[in-house]
Amino acid sequence: MEIRKTTDLDLTDVLQVESKAFGEAEGPEIVDLVKGLLNDPSAVPLLSLLAVNKDDAVGHILFSNARIMDAKDTVPSVILAPLAVIPEAQSQGVGGQLINEGLKRLTQSGVALVFVLGHPEYYPRHGFRPAGALGFEAPYPIPEVNANAWMVQELRSGVIGNVAGRVICADVLDRPEYWRE
């Protein structure tokens, strides 16, 4: 399997992966979110990666720009949203490979923090920890019952504990319906 940065020519494959992964119920909303983020100047810099197996797109991950409202200094940060793997390729490590490749590239580009609102039993396997307990508020309040779904990973040592505040996301992602788990 190859994981590569997407180009404009990959848009159809990216949107098909998102649609298949999230199904009829959530697929259209996620497809609109991805299209919006890819065209949102406030989301830049973006990192969009596609997993391809034998010329078939099987997974996609998108990281968009974020900032921390109360940070004294600029802390390069991103939000991982969404991560998608087509049903036929799930439980085969595709999502983990996309996360690991994304984190590697983000580290090389100088990103310090990666945030995600996701499954609290999945993302900790890839180094994510509950963000609220570490002083980072989500763009919209996360109900206490789902507090552990709001997570962060530190890519530059020493940032967590020295920075805290509310995370500000890209304009397209700044809607309350995207912040429920």
Domain map (residue ranges) of the chain = 2-178
Instruction: Name the residue with higher pLDDT: 79 or 25.
Output: 79
Place of tokens 């990973």: 153
| β-bridge mates for residue 139, sequence order | none
Q: Report the CATH number of the 2-178 domain.
A: 3.40.630.30
Whether residue 77 has pLDDT greater than 90: yes
> Which burial class, exposed, middle or buried, applies to 56 when counting CB atoms under 10 A from its CB (0-12, 13-18, 19+)?
middle
Residue 43: alpha-carbon gap to chain centroid: 12
- Structure confidence at residue 27 (pLDDT): 86
- Structure confidence at residue 91 (pLDDT): 94
3-state helix, strand, coil in the chain (%, to 5): 40, 30, 30
The answer to whether the CB of 57 falls within 8 A of the CB of 84 is: no
pLDDT tens track for 84-123? 999 999 999 999 999 999 999 999 999 999 999 999 999 9
pLDDT tens track for 28-63? 999 999 999 999 999 999 999 999 999 999 999 999
Place of tokens 């494959």: 13
Contacts of 162 (CB under 8 A, 6+ apart): none
Q: pTM for the full model?
A: 0.96
